[in-house]
Chain A
Amino acid sequence: MHKVKPEMRILLIAILLLLTVILFLPLLALFIRSFETEQGFSLANYSSIWMNDEMMIAALNSIKVSTVTAILTTILAFIPAYTIHCTRAHRIFKGMLKTTIILPMLLPTITYGFAMMYSLGNQGLLTKLAGRNLFDIYGFNGLLIGYVIYTLPPAFLLIHNAFKYMDKKFIIVSHLMGDRPLRSFVNTILRPLAGALGGAFVLSFILSFTDFGIPASVGGTYSVVASQLYQVMLGSIPDLNQGAVIAVLMLVPAIFAIWLLRSLEKLNFHYDQLGEIELPTHRVRDFSFLTVSSVIVFMMLSIFAIMFIAPWLNRYPYDLTFTFNHVLSVLQSSDLTKVYRNSIWIAVLTSVFGTLVAYCAALLNVRTSLRARSLTDTASMITNTVPGMVLGISYLLLFNGSSLKGTVTIIVLCNIVHFFTTPYLMAKNSLSKMNPSWETTGELLGDSWFKTVYRVVLPNSAVTVIEMLGYYFLNAMVTISGIIFLVSTQTAVVASKIKELQHFAKFNEIFVMSMLIFFTNLIVKLLCDYGQKRFSIHR
């Protein structure tokens, strides 16, 4: 490893200072606040939560609905992943499956709820098609469907990736050894994937447990921790100390979940060499799995379909004539276009500065021998653990009195921290694969460290940088749990505006705004994919 340069030290100090202010201090403020009472510091806040029936019911409800969600999601995510990797369905179908299943990621979770009302509610599209009310969507059922849709894409991606590293030769070996189908399936698929399936379960559980958007729209009277937390903080009688306690209590399962995820990872098989191998033909298997997978994706998308239809109709479901009026009125409303511009602006700032911070942190961590560099790993572990709502409250508590309150800056900073882990790990992964002698070579050829980073390291990680920019942008566009406590009337973003429009039952506006987010994200995603392809073509 090349020698430590002063500029590396300065950069690391700057990054660590930034992380202290935007991550460690807010969390510290949260902990302190949770012990603060009018009589000084004590556990009184915690014990009062324990006595509070409402809160206990909410906690139990959260655990119940999240557990059912996690079981369902894991099964539903496994089926398309299996179809893609272990059947001989046509490549085109596999590609379509892969693309469509992650589409919900382009929308804020709060939209899911409203789409469900319009598709599964009393007058909903699917209700009409079925001819009767399928079930009551407010409460447990609605939450369950919403959470499953929300957590299906990430759970799918997790299992999908695990499949990529699984050696499929064992399937053939098992066949040749005369295993019966069930035994073969258990030994060559389930066992090697145990870690990933467990991981999908935990991930799905914790995402449901901490999401705010879905309970905000279809929770009804079925209270969960996230909705309780919102009420305590921003309800008629705000109680910040109580809120801090709930936030800490939300953090506990999150910490447990991350610990569980890490231990489950060890269950995964690591094959040294992966060879491509052709799978045996089995038409029944291929056809049935493709059908079931398509049904899963179709059902998921059918719930969203209404969102793209209703705003173009005069008064759904009573007057089904076509009109541009709703879309035009949103585009002409200076209030709503300002919200949309805010969203874009915040997403762009988050994307640029977030990528910068994550890239620098990864660079110092992987490609220098600075002693304090492992602190960036610690930061990434913490950001991975802290749910958006908890982070948002921490920010509220720490920055409430400061001039940062109600600014775009605070939202951007919160987003940068909230989504830090994944881009950081992307950068680390890419930087650690590069030749370790580049910096030394650059120095011998007369470069300063910054110059080598700019001329060599950065261009060679362009693909990853684009991926990081895209990840930050998309997430900043759809997040609501992280920023719901931080937005002001001046800095409202689309996701939080939807929450507000809900009170006035302005569903057309909600859907038009959601479409705006969706198509913006889609365009950004396609641009990023194109950029990545262009830059990787020569490698």
Chain B
Amino acid sequence: MLKLQHISKQFDGKMVLQDISLEIGSGEIVSLLGPSGSGKTTLLNIILGLTKLDHGSIMYNGLDMTHVSMKKRGFNIVFQDYALFPNLNAYENIIYGLRNKKGSVSEREVQDYIDFLELKPHLSKRISELSGGQKQRVALARTLVTKPKILLLDEPLSALDGVIKESIKQRIQSIAREFKLTTIIVTHDPEEALTLSDKILIINQGTISQYGTPREIIGQPSNDFVKQFIIKQLQIKRQNIFNLFGERYA
């Protein structure tokens, strides 16, 4: 279980995050949802250990992680642009981290990850030869073989074509289920957040607007921001889709 307590962060005197507290259960998928500039990426980087926090603490399974370095914390991230190494091919990218942790993952397990993410046909390809979705899966594999305690995903769908978004969503859900992996996702798309995750943390201007399940957020929006910016958008979308298919499919 990951527990954030009273986290605050300033950049150059500007409050970016203010008194954020929440708990994330093991194996849960949680989305951090908010408009750009809301502080969601900063929060992700604080959990990762990349950004230092000003106040508050981070507890993981009862251990205080606040001052543990990023490398020792044992969490891992897939960046929005994947940050794959173009001088190495897909397979070399996937096993990049294994050289530093010999014996932690067996050859068998690596193959399992590769099979699971259906990357076998692409292993010897250069990064520039991969499609967006394939890059995404290679980046996921590279991160998963390090067996992170928590998987962080920064806007995992934003760089992908509309067509494959849904299949990647399913993939992320099945990873969390299969490996019982706590997964934290940053997104600015309400539909993505509400259909992908167990819980959603809505952030606005550095504070928590609401934290709850998709059902709670739709059923009991806690304030105007949630109503206006989250639910309104979804209603417009629903209307558009109804118009396409006709009301009877509702």
Q: Which residues of A contact B (CB under 8 A)?
A: 2-3, 435, 437-438, 440-447, 451, 455-456, 459-460, 462, 538-539
Q: Which of B169-189 contact A (CB under 8 A)?
A: none
Residues of chain A lying within 8 A (CB to CB) of residue B96: 442, 445, 455
What separation, in Å, do the CA atoms of A16 and B211 have in the docked complex? 50
**Contact between A443 and B79, CB atoms less than 8 A apart:** no
What separation, in Å, do the CA atoms of A438 and B88 have in the docked complex? 13
Q: Which residues of B contact A (CB under 8 A)?
A: 50, 52, 70-71, 76-77, 79, 81, 83, 85-88, 96-97, 99-101, 126, 128, 142-143, 146
Residue of B nearest to A438 (CB): B83
Residue of B nearest to A441 (CB): B83
What separation, in Å, do the CA atoms of A441 and B143 have in the docked complex? 9
What separation, in Å, do the CA atoms of A451 and B81 have in the docked complex? 22
Residue of A nearest to B52 (CB): A3
Query: Lowest 7 A-B CB distances belong to which pairs?
Result: A446-B100, A445-B97, A437-B83, A459-B87, A441-B83, A437-B79, A456-B85
**Contact between A460 and B100, CB atoms less than 8 A apart:** no
**Contact between A460 and B86, CB atoms less than 8 A apart:** yes
Residues of chain A lying within 8 A (CB to CB) of residue B87: 456, 459-460, 462
What separation, in Å, do the CA atoms of A447 and B97 have in the docked complex? 8
**Contact between B86 and A446, CB atoms less than 8 A apart:** no
What separation, in Å, do the CA atoms of A443 and B50 have in the docked complex? 10
Residues of chain A lying within 8 A (CB to CB) of residue B52: 3
On whether A538 and B142 interact (CB within 8 A), knowing A444-B77, A445-B100, the answer reads no
B128's contact among A441, A442, A538, by CB below 8 Å, is which? A538
* 11 pairs, A vs B, C-beta closer than 8 Å: A437-B83, A438-B83, A440-B50, A444-B70, A444-B146, A446-B101, A451-B100, A455-B85, A455-B96, A459-B87, A460-B85
Residues of chain B lying within 8 A (CB to CB) of residue A462: 87
* Seed contacts A437-B79, A445-B97, A445-B142; 12 additional CB < 8 Å A-B pairs: A3-B52, A437-B81, A438-B83, A440-B70, A442-B96, A446-B71, A446-B97, A446-B99, A456-B85, A456-B87, A460-B87, A539-B86
Residue from A437, A441, A447, A538 with most neighbouring chain B CB atoms (10 Å): A441
For the complex formed, measure the closest distance between the CB of B8 and the CB atoms of chain A, giving whole angstroms.
Answer: 19
Residue of A nearest to B45 (CB): A440
Residue of A nearest to B95 (CB): A445
Residues of chain B lying within 8 A (CB to CB) of residue A447: 100
B85's contact among A438, A440, A446, by CB below 8 Å, is which? A438
What separation, in Å, do the CA atoms of A438 and B143 have in the docked complex? 13
On whether A445 and B128 interact (CB within 8 A), knowing A3-B50, A435-B83, the answer reads no
For the complex formed, measure the closest distance between the CB of A256 and the CB atoms of chain B, giving whole angstroms.
Answer: 37
Residues of chain A lying within 8 A (CB to CB) of residue B146: 444-446
Residues of chain B lying within 8 A (CB to CB) of residue A451: 100
Residues of chain B lying within 8 A (CB to CB) of residue A440: 50, 70, 77, 79, 83
What separation, in Å, do the CA atoms of A438 and B50 have in the docked complex? 13
Residues of chain A lying within 8 A (CB to CB) of residue B97: 444-446
**Contact between A443 and B81, CB atoms less than 8 A apart:** no
**Contact between A444 and B126, CB atoms less than 8 A apart:** no
For the complex formed, measure the closest distance between the CB of A462 and the CB atoms of chain B, giving whole angstroms.
Answer: 8
For the complex formed, measure the closest distance between the CB of B88 and the CB atoms of chain A, giving whole angstroms.
Answer: 8
Residues of chain B lying within 8 A (CB to CB) of residue A456: 85, 87-88
For the complex formed, measure the closest distance between the CB of A463 and the CB atoms of chain B, giving whole angstroms.
Answer: 11
What separation, in Å, do the CA atoms of A444 and B50 have in the docked complex? 10
Residues of chain A lying within 8 A (CB to CB) of residue B71: 443-444, 446
Residues of chain B lying within 8 A (CB to CB) of residue A2: 50
Residues of chain B lying within 8 A (CB to CB) of residue A444: 70-71, 76-77, 97, 143, 146
What separation, in Å, do the CA atoms of A451 and B99 have in the docked complex? 11
Residues of chain B lying within 8 A (CB to CB) of residue A455: 85, 96
For the complex formed, measure the closest distance between the CB of A238 and the CB atoms of chain B, giving whole angstroms.
Answer: 54
For the complex formed, measure the closest distance between the CB of B82 and the CB atoms of chain A, giving whole angstroms.
Answer: 8
What separation, in Å, do the CA atoms of A215 and B230 have in the docked complex? 76
